[in-house]
Homo-oligomer: A and B are copies of this chain.
Amino acid sequence: MARGRKVDSDGAVTKRLLLDIAIEQFAEYGYHDTKISEIVKEAKVTQPTFYLYFKSKEAIFQEIIESFQKQLRILTSESLLEENIEDSSLKKEIQSGLINMLTFFSENPMLTQIGFYEAESARELKMNMVKHVTGNLEAEKKLGYFSQNYPMNIVAESLVGSIERLTLHEILTGRSTPDDLAKVLVDIYFSGIQK
């Protein structure tokens, strides 16, 4: 076969193609079991082409993760803008924040799989979520909305754990909708399951 540039070829398109395939593969097989050779085979380009767009395997993985985190950050900051606008219904607000996040996850299942579960940096991401939630809960607690008996960092960790697992098993599988799930979660954490 002849070498050189293909007709109709477009760097941006090729890069996007490689990214999309990489996302699929990282989501399905994880970092280690995803092979550059397989990505380029699916994209119908050669290995050097890959290195034209990405410095390394690690680099494309990072790029994917950053894309996930960036979108998530935008979403979160948007939610934050609304914060405290209505002081009336704290529960509704939290629920709506949750819905936003779960919706994002459900709309980006593969990206979520990678950025929320496989990436090393997911650890940090979740820690930040915990910190953020803890802060909010503590504030509300001080305002007297919540019981004084709970160490809010534990509650926050617990909530993030719930979200983590439920996203994986209910959202990414399509078994529950973000709305339903958010409602149940908030109910549990607000009121408990005891009669």
Interface residues of A (CB under 8 A from B): 32, 126, 130, 137, 144-147, 149-151, 154-155, 157-166, 169-170, 176, 181, 184-185, 187-195
* A192–B195 CA distance with the chains assembled, in angstroms: 11
User: Among B146, B147, B160, B165, which residue has its beta carbon within 8 angstroms of that of A157?
Assistant: B165
User: Among B147, B157, B158, which residue has its beta carbon within 8 angstroms of that of A194?
Assistant: B147
| Beta-carbon contact of B170 and A166 below 8 Å | no
Residues in B whose Cβ lies below 8 Å from that of A32: 32
User: Among B154, B163, B189, which residue has its beta carbon within 8 angstroms of that of A170?
Assistant: B154
* A164–B161 CA distance with the chains assembled, in angstroms: 7
Interface class of chain A by DSSP: helix
| Beta-carbon contact of B193 and A190 below 8 Å | yes
| Beta-carbon contact of B145 and A195 below 8 Å | yes
| Beta-carbon contact of A160 and B155 below 8 Å | no
Chain B min CB distance to A55 (Å): 14
* 7 A-B pairs with the lowest CB-CB distances in the bound complex, closest first: A161-B165, A192-B192, A191-B192, A158-B162, A32-B32, A161-B161, A161-B162
With A157-B165, A187-B192, A192-B192 given, name 14 new contacts (CB 8 A). Answer: A144-B195, A146-B193, A147-B193, A147-B195, A150-B187, A150-B188, A151-B184, A154-B166, A154-B184, A155-B184, A158-B185, A161-B163, A164-B164, A189-B192
Chain B min CB distance to A109 (Å): 16
Chain B min CB distance to A138 (Å): 12
* A181–B155 CA distance with the chains assembled, in angstroms: 10
